[in-house]
């Protein structure tokens, strides 16, 4: 099977897409396991039990525009220290990752290379339930 083009993926706050995103990464899920191996475990094989589902941070690489309203809102959301309840990632075919518990903006870094474009990276950490596309 051929791959699926990522072009057109959006990171939205409510119905408004954050503009000038060059790359979106992260936002996946992982599962913690707790070792339950005991001295009488069968054939001395490791045993585990599933514990916590974890969400990974989302990284937005931006062609930074200091006057862009959506870029300003990311910074304002971070300063507010409150989870934003309406962040979503919309894939090109319309599938959506939703963050039911909200998400915090945890970082906003800028780069200004002397021979390059103005960029920034926004880091967003979901909290609570993450719903991947069905």
Domain that holds residue 65: 10-39+56-131
Using a pLDDT cut of 90, give the percent of the chain over it: 84
102 within a domain of the structure (yes/no): yes
Q: What is the per-residue pLDDT across 6-25, written as a single tens digit (0 to 9) for each? A: 999 999 998 999 999 999 99
Which residues of the chain fall short of a pLDDT of 70? Answer: 1
67 domain residue, yes or no = yes
Return the pLDDT at 24.
98
Q: Residue 33 maps to which CATH number?
A: 2.30.110.20
pTM: 0.90
The answer as to whether 45 is a domain residue is no
Q: Return the pLDDT at 101.
A: 86
Longest dimension (CA), the chain: 64
Determine how many CB atoms are found less than 10 A away from the CB of residue 129.
Answer: 12
At 53-71, the pLDDT tens digits run 999 999 999 999 999 999 9
Number of domains in the chain: 1
């Amino acid at each position: 099977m051929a791959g699926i083009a990522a072009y057109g993926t959006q990171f939205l706050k409510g119905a408004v897409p954050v503009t000038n995103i060059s790359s979106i990464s992260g936002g996946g899920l992982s599962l913690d396991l707790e070792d339950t191996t005991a001295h009488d475990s069968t054939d001395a094989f490791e045993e585990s039990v599933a514990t916590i589902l974890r969400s990974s941070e989302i990284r937005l690489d931006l062609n930074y525009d200091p006057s862009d309203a959506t870029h300003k809102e990311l910074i304002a959301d971070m300063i507010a220290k409150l989870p934003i309840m309406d962040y979503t990632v919309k894939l090109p075919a319309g599938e959506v990752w939703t963050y039911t518990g909200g998400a915090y903006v945890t970082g906003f870094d800028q780069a200004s290379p002397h021979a390059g474009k103005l960029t920034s990276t926004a880091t967003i950490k979901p909290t609570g339930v993450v719903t991947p596309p069905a």
